[in-house]
Structure 1
Amino acid sequence: MRAVQITRLDGPDAVQVVELDEPDANGAVLVDVYAAGVAFPDALLTRGLYQHKPEPPFVPGAEVAGVVRSAPPDAQVSAGDRVAALTLLTGGMAEVVALPAEQVFTLPDAVSLQAGAGLLFNDLTVHFALVQRGRLAAGETVLVHGAAGGIGTSALRLAPALGAQRTIAVVSTPEKADIARAAGATDVVAADGFRDAVRELTSGRGVDIVV
């Protein structure tokens, strides 16, 4: 199978496309990968700057989407299912991956495989931040920095679904403001002077959670 491999730790230029043996199932879910997500940790991994430091050569890729080739009987998915999956940081940028069943999730038909490949890493991070760390409660206001990025747009989508009444997006350009609005931001403010803008928007109250 073809795979993307990091052969040395001097940046993205070290990435190569190589031929590797396909993984064996060995009780895991085998997924034919149609799309793999690319996130900031992948760039850090190419320089050995992420907290997880695999020794090269290694295959990067924390999240994928594809079609199940085979699955053990006790898995929640079966052969032919469209899925999104987490590899837990490495191994995703390959034509086939073998993953524990608990890291593989059925992908709704309304979500494309390309979109599914970029779904879990951001959304699960934001869900953890809002629910576990932020203890988001119904009716609260969430301020989102870097609102046009992956984590930012995920926060703008998930916060209302989890009960937030208002989201305030902080952006640096008009183009990013458009992205934040498209992601559902209630209000958008410029990064320069955002504190005063937020204070005015909230009549001095401030916000409940900052992402």
Structure 2
Amino acid sequence: MAALLCRRSLPRTWLCRRAGQGCGRHYRAALCAELKQPLAIEEVARRPVRPHEVRVEVHFCGVNFADILVCRGQYQEKPPLPFTPGMEFSGIVLETGADVSSVKEGERVIGLSGFNGMAEEYIADQKTLWRVPEKVSLQEAAVLPVSYGTAISALEHRAHTQPGETVLVTAAAGATGLAVIDVATNVLQAKVIAAAGSDDKCKLAVQRGAQGSVNYSQGSLKEAVRRLVGSRGVDVAIDMVGGEVFLEALRSLAWEGRIVVLGFAGGNIASVPANLLLLKNISAMGLYWGRYQDQDFPLFSRSLSSALQYCQQGRIRPYVGSVFKLEEVNDAFLHVIQRKSTGKETCSGSLWLARCSSEPWNQHWTMAVILLSLFSSPCL
């Protein structure tokens, strides 16, 4: 009876693929066949796993700003066409290679895929997978790698944020912005001022834990921050917008304040006025979180392990904005591009409606991130 209950609790896809060699030789994936054009959903042939590799049935995959850039040929990494985007995912282990010891078949995992995650299956090196704790859902887990890995590294490793300090975060309603609010408020016991481009996004940031908010589309960010925290300024600023917003955040820093640059969603890269660094002993630094995977893997791994631990303990609460099916991946991209996105979105593969946008994407990007959900898809 216990075995029967366990079998019933698993996705039908998993049961079908385990049943025999004739099932699951192909899987569906979102393919970028031409840059700056909508993705297509195609069947892809499986390949055998190598000794150190793990085959994962993908349940959720994040849609990050970098996915949109790489599909336009404007990211620093340029995979050859055709390719499948998708940097982060959660799912269940289907098969392990002969030398794999870190995970077992049937275990729930999250992973970093570089680009390849927007597919029903992904073959990963065992070193790029982390087991998901019992109390963390796969949907929550899929939100953690990029946004929470970045937030934890920015706040803890780069800015050394201390309890009671005040943190200013720009693009606060995006996935990374909400993760920064979550970690700073609920783990580090800091106070957060959220800056975003609309009243609705400011409202969401406050609902998620920010003590105050600033709509920087309505006036000077520096002056608004001054009204909230006084002339002393903020201890830490986490900026993802760049341009004038970055400069206003820099000018909002207190004595020995620290600003961490995570990106340039506004499209402009500002020059740092070095005199401001000198006058208040300010530190300006960057964080390219993905580089730690090659440059300092133990630190990279710790940021993900910390995110999973914080979530298991209930100290952080990942936010998912919407759920999209795999075949709606172009709708999900447009949702971000048109600045409708807050937090993470998800895409579901349970129904294959082949509803794709035929229009090329416009240029107006936002830093908010999306998830695709691919579980319970039909066995091929």
Give the alignment's TM-score, normalised by structure 1. 0.90
How has the CA–CA distance of structure 1 residues 182 and 76 changed in structure 2, closer, same or farther, with 3 Å as cutoff?
A: farther
Do the aligned partners of 2:185 and 2:210 also contact (CA within 8 Å) in 1? Answer: no
Deviation at 1:190, TM superposition (A): 2.0
Bigger shift: 151-160 or 184-193? 184-193
Distance of 2:129 and 2:42 partners within structure 1: 25
Deviates more, 1:98-107 or 1:159-168: 159-168
Say whether the 8 Å CA contact 1:189–1:198 is kept in structure 2.
Answer: yes
* Match of residue 67 from structure 2: 42
- 2:66 pairs with 1:70: no
Give the aligned residue type for 2:125.
P
**Higher alpha-carbon deviation: 153-162 or 107-116:** 107-116
* Residue of structure 1 equivalent to 2:32: 6
Listed one character per residue, the Cα deviations across residues 92-142 of structure 1 (whole Å, up to 9, x for unaligned) are 011111112222122234433233223211111122222232222232211
Kept in 2: contact 1:140–1:163 (CA 8 A): no
Q: Distance in 2 between matches of 1:141 and 1:80?
A: 43
- Could you list the per-position Cα deviations for residues 126-180 of structure 1 after superposition, in whole angstroms to 9, with x for gaps in the alignment? 2222223222223221101011111110100111344242011012222112210
**Residue 147 of structure 1 aligns to which amino acid in structure 2?**
A
Between the aligned partners of 1:147 and 1:134, the Cα distance in structure 2 is: 17
Query: How big is the shift at 1:74?
Result: 5.0
Amino acid at match of 1:24: P
Q: Which amino acid aligns with 2:141?
A: G
141, 152, 169: which one pairs with 2:177? 152
> Aligned letter for 1:141?
T
Query: Do the aligned residues in 1 keep the contact of 2:110 with 2:132 (CA within 8 Å)?
Result: yes
Q: Which residue of 2 aligns with 1:203?
A: 230
After the TM superposition, which of the residue ranges 134-143 and 107-116 deviates more from structure 2?
107-116
Report 1:59-98 matches (<5 A). Answer: 59-71=84-96, 74-88=100-114, 90-98=115-123
1:25 aligns to 2:44 (yes or no) = no
> Any conservation in 1 of the 2:54–2:123 contact (CA below 8 Å)?
yes
Preserved CA contact (<8 Å) 1:141 1:164: no
Determine the C-alpha separation between the residues in 2 that align with 1:128 and 1:95: 30
Per mean C-alpha deviation after superposition, the further-off stretch among 181-190 and 151-160 is: 181-190
- Alignment partners' CA distance in 2, 1:158 and 1:71: 34
Q: In the TM superposition, what whole-angstrom CA distance separates every residue of 1:31-53 from its partner, at most 9, and x where no partner exists?
A: 11112111111111111001111
Superposition RMSD in Å: 1.8
Greater RCO, CA 8 A, separation 6+: 2
Structure ID, larger Rg: 2
**2:341 aligned partner:** none
Identity of paired residues, percent?
34
Aligned pairs, number: 208
Match of 1:100 in 2: 125
Gaps in structure 1 of 5+ consecutive residues: none
Residues 133/121 of structure 1: CA separation in 2 closer, same or farther (3 Å cut): same
Pair 1:123-2:148 in alignment: yes
Q: Residue 168 of structure 2 contacts residue 192 of structure 2 at CA under 8 Å; is this kept in 1?
A: yes
Kept in 2, the 8 Å contact 1:8–1:57? The answer is: yes
Give the Cα–Cα distance (whole angstroms) in 1 for the partners of residues 122 and 61 of structure 2: 11
Superposition pairs of residues 163-174 of structure 1, within 5 angstroms: 163-174=188-199
Greater share of helix? 2
State the distance in 1 between where 2:54 and 2:184 align. Answer: 32
Report if aligned partners of 1:156, 1:184 keep a CA contact under 8 Å in 2. yes
Deviations 1:169-206 (A, max 9, x none): 01222211221022211211221332112112222111
Is the 1:2–1:17 Cα contact (8 Å) retained in structure 2? yes
Q: Secondary structure at the match of 1:37?
A: strand
